Every structure is written in structure tokens, then in C-alpha cells.
Chains A and B, each alone.
Chain A
Amino acid sequence: MNGFMTVLKRDLHLAIRQGIDSMTVVMFFVLIVIIFPFGVGPEPNILARVASGVIWVAALLASTLSLERLFQIDYEDGSLELLSLSSVALEVIVLAKVTAHWLTTGLPLIITAPLLAVLLNMNKEGLLVLILALVVGTPSLSLVGAVGAALILGARRGGVLLALIILPLYLPVLIFGVSAVDAIINGFEAKAQLLILGAFFLAALPLCTWAAATSIKQAIE
């Protein structure tokens, strides 16, 4: 637990000192969503229809964009190797870094989402479920993405490669995240979808942590 807090604090400090990183992700997220009305036209009912999908897709892309740097910088300057030599299990370090990643990118996205939902003419019930779905869903994105970020350590053209291997794996989160909002807008319950998102998160928590730690181990050996 101590090791977890130390790594988490370190990563948060780094993120805050550098500052610009997590702001860039949020700006990217906002920009993608803002671009959509230009593409599909400004009619309010069309925008309301695609709002949840657009926000989710933008969240996926923004999270993919920021993931490349999750382990890369520490890998290049050697601190990842030092961290792995410490007495703390590599899985715990991975989990701490994923938590820090979610706090610096996932959380700001969730905070910005209501604003974008208003811009896209989404109603109040939909907005509430969207926030809930993002709260349950984005941690899974960070977890699954961490596996990809660990796999591409030392690879050429890491960023594009990361998107290629991670986006197909994000599909379940996207489907249930969007359908939760669609269900509530069309007057059904969204509980089932939210529970499945939660189940996905609970399954991803141990599996992805382990897979990411294994990939890091073979990257630094």
C-alpha cells in the first residue's frame, strides 16, 4: 500500500508540474466533440441522437492519445527499471500508474462531459447516465490501455501501433457505454448496461494489471 501511494504521488506530482499534458488531452477531447456538429450538421435532434456516441468515441480517442506516455518516459529514462527492482510488486506499481493516469485524464474528461452534453443537446436523464457510465467505464479504458502501453515499450511508431491494438479491445466498453445512455433516453432502464460496465471493470482490474506487469517485465529484462 505504501509503495502504491508513493508511485501514485510521484506520478501525480509529475503530471501537475508538467501540467500541460492532461490539459492537452481534455482540449483534444473537447475539440473532437466540437468538430462533429460541423460534420453531421447542426440540427438539434440529430445531435441529440448521436451525442452519447460522439462523446464516448472522443473519450476513447483521448484516452488512447494519452496512454502512449504512460510507461514510455519512465522506460526511456530508466526509472521503470529501478521501480521494478524495488521491493514493491510490479503489479502494484502498474496499478498506481494506471490510477494516476485515470486521475489526470479520465477524471477531467468526466468533468468536461456535462458541458459537451449540453452543447450536443442531450437531455438531463441522459446526461446523468452518461456521467455514471463514464465513471464506471473510463477506468476500464485506462486498464486495458495500460496493457497496450506496456506492450509497445521499445517499439517503432508506438503511438499509431497503440491505437491499432487497443481500439478493438475497447469495443465492449463503447457498446455498453453508449447503449446505457440510449436506453435511458428512449425510456428504458440503464441498470443492466451499467452493471455490465462494472463487471468489465472488475474483470479488467486483475487481468490487465497482471498482463501489463508481465509485458513490462519482458520489456526491461
Chain B
Amino acid sequence: MLHRFANPTRFLRIASIAQPWIAWATILLAGTGLYLGLFNSPADYQQGESVRIMYVHVPAAWMAMFCYTSMAIAAGIGLIWKHPLADIAAKATAPVGACFTFLALFTGSLWGKPMWGTWWVWDARLTSMLVLLFLYLGYIALINAFDDPARGTKSSSILVLVGLINVPIIKFSVDWWNTLHQPASVLRMDGPSIDESMLWPLLLMALAFKTYYIWVLLVRIRAEIISNKIRILRLRQVHG
């Protein structure tokens, strides 16, 4: 199964077929989600209209964590099975994940000003997101710091795996340090605690963010494979 898709040429063929479908799915999902969220859902009885920031903030925060986990899984596969596509996927995920993390922090800050009366608090969730952003940035800096791209990929794969073990510990210690952010209200054992009229646009937006991620990931992986090919051709020209 793994080796069937290990072939970059086969991947490129499948990706070029899948990409327009995923792009359209993203546009449709984001369009419906934004319409429902911005025009067709009630304002919160406490938070008023500013609750609509949630439809961007919460999916971005979910994606920030999702991207880090998928990056770690891809890096692990790349290290263990020397799977070239997995390495490329990990590398391609990092900037997307960093952007989602930044988006979550930024919208959270905009939301915090009217709700808590401040742009930033050193609260556990905010702080752990900030640390996550720096883990992403450290990864991107490390992967680009080597003259030999293969070295950069391996080094940064180890870094992501070390980070993956450390992220829960950081999360736990930061939680212990200070907590103000509201607890999770969607992913709970006894069902979501928010109203259906808000839950639907939120879930649509979450799906839209996910398909957007896959879309960008496909584009980036294709670009990476092509640039690798160009580099190899150039090297061959030089040596030939």
C-alpha cells in the first residue's frame, strides 16, 4: 500500500487528477460555511457579533495541531522507511501549519480584545499555541540551514519527532502554569455544548480548512518534486 504511492510519478498523476476536485470542494465548503456563519447564524447572547470570529479561529487552531501531527507522522515514515514522498510532505506541511497557527493566534487576539479587554494574555492555550508557532519556525529554519537538502530533511525530521513527544509535556506544564481560556466546547465526551445553528457552519469551515490544506499540500508537493527533478537535471548537465 505504502509502496504503491511511493512512486513520485504515480503520485503526480493522481495528484493532477485530484487537485481540481479538492480545490472546488474547498471553495464550495468555505463559501457555504462563511455564508452560514456570517449571515445565517445567530449572534451569541453574551459575545454578540464578535462570536463570528470563531468560524475562522477554531478551525485554524484545530488545523495548527493537525498539521503538526501529520508532519510528525510523515517525518517518522520518512525516517523509518526512507519514503521520499513522506519527507516532501513533511517539508510541505510546515509553512502551512505555521500559517494556521499564526492565523489562530491573530484571530484569537482580535477576539480577545472585545471579550477579555486585552489583545494578549499569558494564558495556557495562547502560550502553548505560541510555542507551537516557534516549533514550526524552528523546523523551517533547520530544514533550510543545510547546503545538502537531504541532511536538512533528516535533521528536521528528528526535530519534529522530539517536538511531538515534548508538545504534550509543554501543553501540560503551561496548563499548570496559568489557565483562563474557555474549555473545549465542541470535542467533548457528552456531545458539543454549542447550538446546532453555530455548530454547522463551524464544522463546514473546519472541513473547508482541511480540504484547503490538502489542496495546498498537493500544490507544494508537486512543486517540490518538479524542483527536485530540475536540480537533478542541472547536476547531470554539470557532470555530463
Residues on A lying within 8 angstroms of B by beta carbon are 147, 151-152, 154-158, 161, 164-165, 167-169, 171-172, 175-176, 179, 196, 200, 207-208, 211, 214-215, 218-219
**Contact A175 B176, beta carbon cutoff 8 Å:** yes
Q: Which of A165, A196, A218 contacts B142 (CB 8 A)?
A: A165
Q: Cβ of A165 and Cβ of B169 under 8 Å apart? A: no
Question: B residues touching A (Cβ–Cβ < 8 Å)?
Answer: 131, 134-135, 137-139, 141-142, 145-147, 151-152, 154-156, 158-159, 161-163, 165-166, 169-170, 172-174, 176-177
A-B contact list, 27 entries, CB within 8 Å: A151-B156, A154-B146, A155-B142, A155-B145, A156-B145, A156-B147, A158-B145, A161-B141, A161-B142, A164-B134, A165-B139, A165-B159, A168-B135, A168-B138, A169-B166, A172-B169, A172-B172, A175-B174, A175-B176, A179-B176, A200-B169, A207-B162, A207-B165, A211-B161, A214-B158, A215-B158, A218-B154
Q: Does A155 contact B162, Cβ atoms closer than 8 Å?
A: no
Residue from B142, B172, B174 within 8 A of A151 (CB atoms): B142
Distance from B4 Cβ to chain A, minimum over Cβ atoms (Å): 27
B177 touches A175 (CB 8 A): yes
Specify which of B131, B138, B170 lies most central, judged by the most chain A CB atoms within 10 Å of its CB.
B138
Which residues of B lie under 8 Å from residue A158 when comparing CB positions? 145
Partner of A152, one of B142, B147, B173: B142
Name B's interface SS: helix
- Output the least CB separation between A200 and chain B (Å): 7
Nearest Cβ distance between residue A60 and chain B, in whole angstroms? 14
Q: Which 4 A-B pairs have the closest CB atoms?
A: A165-B138, A155-B145, A172-B173, A175-B173
Query: Least Cβ distance of B231 to chain A in Å?
Result: 19
For A214, the chain B residues whose CB sits under 8 A away are 158
- The answer to whether A171 touches B131, judged by C-beta atoms less than 8 angstroms apart, is yes
Q: Is the CB of A168 within 8 A of B142?
A: no
CB distance from B150 to the nearest CB of A (A): 9
A172 touches B170 (CB 8 A): yes
A172: B residues at CB distance < 8 A: 166, 169-170, 172-173
Q: Which of chain A's residues have a CB closer than 8 A to the CB of B165?
A: 207
| B residues in contact with A155, CB < 8 Å | 142, 145-146, 152, 155
Besides A156-B145, A161-B142, A171-B170, 4 other A-B contacts (C-beta < 8 A): A168-B134, A172-B169, A176-B173, A211-B158
| Cα–Cα, bound, A219→B139 (Å) | 17
The answer to whether A168 and B131 touch across the interface, beta carbons within 8 angstroms, is yes
The docked-state distance in angstroms from the alpha carbon of A151 to that of B146 is 11
B162/A152 in contact, CB under 8 A: no
The answer for the CA separation of A156 and B144 in the assembled complex, in Å, is 9
Residues of A contacting B159 with CB < 8 Å? Answer: 147, 151, 165
Interface residue from A171, A215, A218 paired with B174 (Cβ < 8 Å)? A171
Smallest CB gap from B140: residue in A? A164
- Chain B residues with Cβ under 8 A from A207's Cβ? 162, 165
Q: Contacting B162 at CB < 8 Å: which of A156, A200, A211?
A: A211
